[in-house]
């Protein structure tokens, strides 16, 4: 990821009136997004280990920011630094279309999908990277069936001490973000009964869980050092906490979501994450304490989000009861509304959320495609179309 801490002028993406346009203020935090994709046979939906060929075929704007991932049937895109959601959307769509065009030229499809539809038994064909080979030797069968795809959002916060305190404020909202982005119900050729099977597969790794409550940056680093010493991670790149400090750029990275079916949904997620981070940063600077959610209950809420997604029930960490998933989305919106209205992001984000309420989540749309004829090719076809869909505002 590039450095996303630059402060640049914020242009409003969409505003309901000239008054709103005139009064909106620049967002203080910049954004970068990483997305992971699957390469598949469109006739069957099965993954195809062709990343090297597709990467070589990719051309045009965005092609130079497509990189290899864990397996040979995945590609990853890395966005540039952005301050506006409109520009971020254009960038993500550009990279998706570059990868899709290269895949199509080889008779393959590009899927923005959290997990392989037809499964991936045993050790996947790993990318030729010594680090991945070492991970397989160290962690053994944890690698079986891996090759899942997430959406990682970088928010530019250069002060690492502030960043860990922002992480504390974000913890209760991680299940809501996962529920909104759940996009992997079909795996191993069946409905897993989970909206996000990716979350379950990632949960095999020792550090892949909601982050602890950090007392300070020193506390953060002491826990990382302990995981390194204990061998639960091989290197700092294996800090798979759902929120972590980036070690190569000065950002806070939020890793709680499946890759989104459309670029518009990815930008919606990024906009909500920035709203949460900016709200949290204001609270940190005002001395407002973060809620100390119990680790066990936070893991329980994240599991419920992976199981039900946004269309089912959610465990409300603020009240301790189960509620409809969309009720927690509304709570999140209430929480971040002041900063979103101030920046001009409120209108485009609520429009995108309204579309999602109407059309159903990524998980719901996958299930609807599969329910028609129980064919994985139908799900793959629907996902291929969504992956390059252009709708934003």
What domains can you pick out in the chain, each with its CATH number?
Answer: 18-387 (3.30.590.20)
Per-residue pLDDT tens digits of the chain, which is 393 residues long: 433 332 222 222 222 222 223 335 667 899 999 999 999 999 999 999 999 999 999 998 899 999 999 999 999 999 999 999 999 999 999 999 999 999 999 999 999 999 999 988 789 999 999 999 999 999 999 999 999 999 999 999 999 999 999 999 999 999 999 999 999 999 999 999 999 999 999 999 999 999 999 999 999 999 999 999 999 999 999 999 999 999 989 999 999 999 999 999 999 999 999 999 999 999 999 999 999 999 999 999 999 999 999 999 999 999 999 999 999 999 999 999 999 999 999 999 999 999 999 999 999 999 999 999 999 999 999 999 999 998 776
Q: What's the 3-state SS for the chain?
A: CCCCCCCCCCCCCCCCCHHHHHHCCCCCCCEEEEEEEEEECCCCCCECCCHHHHHHHCCCCCHHHEEECCECCEEEEECCCECCHHHHHHHHHHHHHHHHHHHHHCCCEEECCCCCCCCCCCCCCECCCHHHHHHHHHHHHHHCCCCCCEEEEEEECCCHHHHHHHHHHHHHHHHHHHHHHCCECEECCEECCCCEHHHHHHCCCCCCCCCCCCCCHHHHHHHHHHHHHHCCCCCHHHCCCCEEECCCCCEEEEEEEECCCCHHHHHHHHHHHHHHHHHHHHHHHHCCCCCCCCHHHHHHHHHHHHHHHHHCEEEECCCCEEEEHHHHHHHHHHHHHHHHHHHCCHHHHHHHHHHHHHHCCHHHHHHHHHHHHCCHHHHHHHHHHHHCCCCCC
């Amino acid at each position: 990821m590039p450095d996303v801490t630059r402060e640049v002028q914020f242009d409003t993406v969409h505003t309901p009136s000239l008054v709103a346009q005139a009064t909106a203020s620049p967002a203080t935090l910049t954004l970068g997004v990483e997305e992971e994709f699957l390469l598949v046979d469109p006739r069957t939906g099965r993954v195809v280990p062709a990343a090297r060929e597709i990467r070589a075929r990719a051309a045009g704007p965005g092609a130079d920011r497509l990189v290899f991932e864990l397996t040979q049937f995945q590609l990853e895109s890395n966005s540039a630094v952005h301050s506006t959601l409109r520009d971020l959307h254009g960038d993500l769509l550009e990279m998706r279309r570059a990868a899709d065009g290269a895949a199509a030229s080889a008779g393959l499809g590009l899927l923005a999908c959290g997990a392989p539809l037809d499964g991936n038994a045993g050790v996947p064909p790993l990318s030729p990277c010594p680090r991945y080979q070492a991970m397989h030797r160290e962690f053994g069968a944890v690698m079986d069936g891996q090759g899942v795809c997430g959406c990682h959002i970088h928010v530019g916060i250069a002060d690492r001490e502030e960043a860990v305190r922002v992480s504390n404020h974000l913890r209760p909202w991680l299940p809501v973000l996962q529920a909104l982005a759940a996009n992997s119900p079909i795996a191993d050729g069946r409905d897993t009964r989970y909206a996000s099977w990716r979350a379950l597969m990632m949960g095999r790794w020792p550090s892949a869980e909601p982050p602890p409550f950090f007392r300070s940056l020193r506390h953060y680093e002491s826990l990382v050092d302990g995981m390194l010493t204990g061998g639960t991670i091989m290197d700092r790149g294996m800090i798979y906490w759902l929120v972590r400090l980036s070690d190569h750029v000065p950002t806070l990275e939020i890793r709680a979501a499946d890759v989104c079916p459309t670029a518009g949904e990815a930008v919606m997620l990024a906009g909500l994450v920035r709203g949460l981070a900016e709200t949290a940063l204001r609270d940190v600077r005002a001395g407002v304490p973060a809620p100390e959610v119990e680790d066990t209950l936070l893991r329980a809420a994240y599991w419920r989000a992976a199981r039900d997604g946004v269309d089912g029930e959610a465990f409300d960490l603020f009240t301790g009861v189960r509620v409809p998933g969309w009720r927690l989305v509304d709570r999140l919106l209430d929480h971040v509304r002041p900063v979103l209205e101030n920046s001009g992001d409120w209108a485009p984000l609520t429009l995108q959320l309204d579309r999602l309420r109407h059309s159903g989540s990524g998980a719901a749309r996958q299930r609807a495609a599969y329910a028609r004829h129980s064919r994985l090719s139908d799900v793959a076809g629907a996902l291929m179309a969504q992956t390059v869909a252009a709708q934003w505002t």
